[in-house]
Structures are given as C-alpha cells and as structure tokens.
Structure 1
Amino acid sequence: MGTGIRGLLIDLDGTLYHGGIMIPGADELVRMLQREGLRYLFVTNNSSASPEVVAERLRGMGIPARPDDVVTSAQGAAAYLAEQMPGANVHVIGEAGLREAIQEAGLNLETDQPDVVVQGIDRELTYDKLAAAAAHIRSGARYILTNPDRLLPSEHGLIPGAGSISAMLQASSGVQPVVIGKPSTILMDVALKRLGLAPEETWVVGDNPATDIAAGLAAGCLSVLVLTGLATGDNYKELLAAANCEADVVIDTLPQLQEYIGNQLAQQRQRR
C-alpha cells in the first residue's frame, strides 16, 4: 500500500464482533487508532439500530465508541433523500433506527401518499406492510433500499435480511431500488464526507468481499480484508473471485492488523 493512511472506515459485524461477542483485539485496535490520532468511523449496513444504540452495544463489549463514530445505512438513506428530495414524504418498511434517521433528516413519515418508499430490515414484517409498499411503488413512489444483504447473522444462525425483503418488493412492484449501503458508493460517500478525507487517504476494513471490499474499490479507497468473519483462510479467495474484486491487503487477525497499521505509520514518519 503505497498511499499514506490518515483514516479508516471499519465494518462492524464479522469485523469487530460476532453477535454480542467482541472479536479478539477489536478494543486494542480502536484504542491504538485513538492514540495515533487516526480518524475512523464504524460503517454498517445495519439499518435497524440508531448510532446511539450501536455505540452502546460496542461499549458493552469493551470497544470504545460514541454515536458520532457510527455511520449506518439508515443515515445514508436519510442523507441521500434529504439532498435529492428535501422534505419528502417517506413510507418506511424498517425498524426504529431507520424511522429516527428519516425524521432527523427533516423528512416526513407518511403512510398514505408517500413520495418515496425506504425499505430496510423489518423483523415485524407483515403481508399487509409488503402489499402497501408495493402499491405505493407501482403508483410512482421512488424505491430506496438501505442495504442489499440477503442474510443476517443472528444467535439462531442466518436469518433473512433487507435484501430478501427487497426481492419480494421488486417482484411485486417491478421496480429495482436505489441501493444505499455497501457495496454502493452512496454510503461510502456519506462516510468519507463525515471523515473529511480523500478516498486515497482512507482504508476500508471489513470481512465481506461482496460488500466491504467491493465498496472500498468502488469508492476509490484502499481495502483491507480481515479473515475474522464471513471470509476465512479457507474461502476468502473464492469469495473475492465471486465478488469480482481484489483486496489490497488480506490479514488474518485484528492484532495483526494493528501491527500492520503501526508498521505503515512508522514508514510514513520515516518518509517525512
């Protein structure tokens, strides 16, 4: 990696934790970034929880985190809509984090005559909710999808994600959504803007080639694949090939990532 590092966009689930359990070294990695004065944000495709809830969850595992450190696909969707359609009426299929983000962006929650349908994960999904959203989209409402993840890890194994709900909505409306979350550049652009850094100064760190690494590539960032979650030593080459992308660096563990960053920073200081 020839370009200097000034900031990181770090995935969460599978990268820093599994479910409610911290991946070894995640706490020390974040503390090291703080000591070195590197900017960082936690970027998640999860649209269900607010940044406050995500930060509290991280702190509960021992990982230092503030709400301002978190960028969710719900925030990305809200920022995108506030710019494209300020003051729009929005019909939401989703959970509290998505509804809160929509309202905080100055958009209106509207169920009868929306300008746009925004859909994320909804673990209280009903047939009536799906039917209403599909009818709005067929009637001309724009369709925004927070993230394309078809499966989500849970304590009971993999469960249907926002992408699986979207498959039903696309089939019943005949409309493909604008996708906000990784691998789309929309969420990455929101995160880079908040970070205040250029893509070439920023590393994207994650465990999923199809979302994290593909998003880094699309945004012009450097990418680090960590073999701590979805990608493992056994399958990462196959996953990268399926995602049609290459990671700049592949690292086994978070302590090794911390060491790698330290070495890169030492080289940068020498070059100065």
Structure 2
Amino acid sequence: MTDKREVRTWLTDMDGVLVHEEHAIPGAADFLRRLQELDLGFLVLTNNSIYTPRDLRARLQASGIDVPEDAIWTSALATAQFLNDQRPNGSAYVLGEAGLTTALHDVGYIMSSREPDYVVLGETRTYSFEAITKAIRLIAAGSRFIATNPDPSGPSTDGLLPATGAIAALITRATGVEPYYVGKPNPLMMRSALNRIQAHSETTVMIGDRMDTDIVSGLEAGLRTILVLTGSTSAAQVARHPFVPTRVVDSIADVVPLVDEFAARD
C-alpha cells in the first residue's frame, strides 16, 4: 500500500480468511492477537446468518482463535438493525435459524405469519417447501422481501450447498419481487460495522477472500482492501474484475507484519 494514512481499525471476513471449514488458517490467531495488543478496533464479519455471535465465538475458539463475542458482526445482526431503523417493533415471517431469529427478537421484532411487515430470508440447512411456499404467498400478498445476503451457495464437507441467494432466486421467480439484500456486497453491511465500533472509513482496512462481496463492498464503503488467496478468489481471477483490491497477499499471515507498519503511520 502506498497510502500514507494510518490504520486504526480492521474489518475482516471470517471463512476463507481466518478459518477454512473448522480449521484455523495459519497466522489468523497471531493477527487478532496483535490487534488486541495494540488496542486497535476490529470486527470479524460474516454473511452467514445461521449462528449467533456466541455460537461463532465458540466455533472460533475450537479452532484456536479467540475473538470476543462483541467483535463479531453477522448479516443477521445487520439485517435486524436495518429493519429496526426502517420499521421499529415490526413483524416478520422468517426463514432462517437461531442467528437470525435471535437478532430480530433482540430488536423487538415479532415473528408472525399473519400479514407480517417483512418476509426475511436467511441461511438455513433445513429449507422446507412448505415454508418457501408460505413466504411466496405472503410476498404476493404485500409483505416486503428482505434477504440477509446474496450468496448462491456455501461450502460443506460434502460439496456445495444451496444458500440464501439460491432460495431468494426461487422466491423471486415465483413472485416477481426482488429482495433487498442487507449483507455483503451491500456497503450498508460495512457502514453498520463501522458504526458499531465508532470507526471511520478513512482509517479502516477490510480483509476478505472474495472479490465479489468482501472487496467490492469495502471499496464502495470507502475502505482500503486486502484480498487473501486462501478462500474463494484465486490470483488468476483478480484481473477479471473491473476493480482491484488495494493489496493482494497469500494469506492472513502476510497481514500480521503490516499491522505495526500501518498503525505507526501518521
């Protein structure tokens, strides 16, 4: 990076940057430990809406990575905050799991299938035809359509799984209604994360493994960006995009020495 501004806060994606499946990526624990030693603000971001921050902290701890619960920001939390800002104390029919329903409950939302203000679609491993049909009928009747993130598929030990974006496409095809996606690549996810830790885009870096979500949303939110090559995007794919990260590195281990360098800039 040739930018001389110091870096006071860091945002980082989780899967593909800090962990792969259930295993820590070398350098991840060192990176987070150094941020805490320097008392630099940071958030771990994820488009996965299945888990609560407490669940994700336990998952990371099992991999040998220690992240405080309040340093984890999910698309479910960003969605709940967005809905609370738009329509406080509203109602929603939810297709999702504990991470999403808990976040909505915490902002005062009522879960209802009777004329809800919103149909909210999140990640789940148990999509049912009955629930999808109900969502389609509610949207056709006038409920607003929100989805936590547009990811069409997700990884598993057995291969790809259909994710939120794929189910959203099915519902859109049936209703003609496109959802509003809150999570990455919507820069709203980045802005909500910055607001949570009272950070400024001018002095924040976003680290991610996907050009089409992490890097583009960081770019559109005015952040400097670092792409790591331990996840979804390969080095050969970077040049195919009409935008570029501020920097491309092999892994999070290569970011560790940069933390001190950027923190010392003035």
TM-score interval for Structure 1 and Structure 2 normalised by the shorter chain = over 0.9
CA–CA separation in structure 1 for the residues paired with 2:116 and 2:102: 17
RMSD: 1.1
Deviation for aligned residue 1:259: 1.2
Deviation for aligned residue 1:200: 1.1
TM-score of the superposition, structure 2-length normalised?
0.96
Mapping of 1:242-253 within 5 angstroms? 244-253=242-251
User: Counterpart in 2 of 1:265?
Assistant: 263
The structure with the greater share of residues assigned to helix is 1
Which amino acid is the alignment partner of residue 93 of structure 2? H
User: Counterpart in 2 of 1:49?
Assistant: 51
CA–CA separation in structure 1 for the residues paired with 2:72 and 2:99: 12
CA–CA separation in structure 2 for the residues paired with 1:174 and 1:233: 37
Does the Cα contact within 8 Å between 2:11 and 2:207 map onto a contact in 1?
yes
User: Greater shift after overlay, 256-265 or 79-88?
Assistant: 256-265
Which secondary structure does the structure 1 equivalent of 2:235 belong to? coil
Structure 1 gaps of 5+ residues are none
User: Counterpart in 2 of 1:36?
Assistant: 38
User: Counterpart in 1 of 2:216?
Assistant: 214
User: Counterpart in 2 of 1:256?
Assistant: 254
Deviation for aligned residue 1:210: 0.3
Compare relative contact order (CA 8 Å, sep 6+) and give the higher one, 1 or 2: 2
Deviation for aligned residue 1:35: 0.8
Deviation for aligned residue 1:218: 1.2
Question: What fraction of aligned residue pairs are identical, expressed as a percent?
Answer: 35
Does the Cα contact within 8 Å between 2:34 and 2:259 map onto a contact in 1?
no
Structure 2 gaps of 5+ residues are none
Structure 1 segments of 4 or more deviating over 4 A? none
Deviation for aligned residue 1:123: 1.5
Does the Cα contact within 8 Å between 2:149 and 2:183 map onto a contact in 1?
yes
User: Counterpart in 2 of 1:226?
Assistant: 228
CA–CA separation in structure 2 for the residues paired with 1:227 and 1:262: 22
CA–CA separation in structure 1 for the residues paired with 2:208 and 2:138: 35
CA–CA separation in structure 1 for the residues paired with 2:250 and 2:215: 15
CA–CA separation in structure 1 for the residues paired with 2:225 and 2:249: 11
User: How many residues matched?
Assistant: 264
Does the Cα contact within 8 Å between 1:121 and 1:165 map onto a contact in 2?
no
User: Counterpart in 2 of 1:113?
Assistant: 115
Does the Cα contact within 8 Å between 1:227 and 1:236 map onto a contact in 2?
no
Which amino acid is the alignment partner of residue 245 of structure 1? F
